[in-house]
Amino acid sequence: RKEGKGNIIPQNSIDKAPSAELRPNQKDKDSLPSYKTLDDILIEFIENEKSFDEIIEMGFNKDTVRKVEKMYYNAEFKRAQLVQTIKISKKGFGIGRRIPVLNKYHLNKYHIE
């Protein structure tokens, strides 16, 4: 095959449902809210710095917000493992963040059970 010819991404990868692929037959839609809801909650939480209660007052389901917040904080350890990078959004995950990287600050402070 010559460079630039043929399919770059296999069709079965394009057709496959989004998945973290951690469990057999796992699909994101089975364990996550819709991407729209997830994005909307994360934008309010991260970029707009809204609290849990403020996000609930905006009309989001309390259990969904709690789940998203829990997933967010449970994944925080990954941030400490990454090299610092450029910021391409309103709220980056570098120096502009409001949560310290090293001291596990969030534990028991938020609505995580």
Contact 105, 79 (CB under 8 A): no
Give the domains, in start order, of the chain with CATH numbers: 32-113 (1.10.10.1510)
The pTM score is 0.57
pLDDT digits (tens, 9 = 90+) for 33-67: 888 999 999 999 988 989 999 999 999 999 999 99
Report the C-alpha dihedral over residues 26, 28, 33, 39, rounded to 10 degrees: 160
Q: Is pLDDT above 60 for 6? A: yes
pLDDT of res. 42: 93
User: At 75, which amino acid appears?
Assistant: A
pLDDT at position 1: 46
Q: What DSSP designation does 17 have? A: P
Cβ contacts of 68 within 8 Å, gap of 6 or more: 33, 38, 41, 42, 45
- Please answer whether residues 58 and 49 qualify as being in contact, where contact means their C-beta atoms are separated by less than 8 angstroms: no
Q: How many C-alpha atoms does 85 have within 13 Å on its Cβ side?
A: 11
pLDDT in tens, 59-81: 999 999 999 998 888 887 777 77
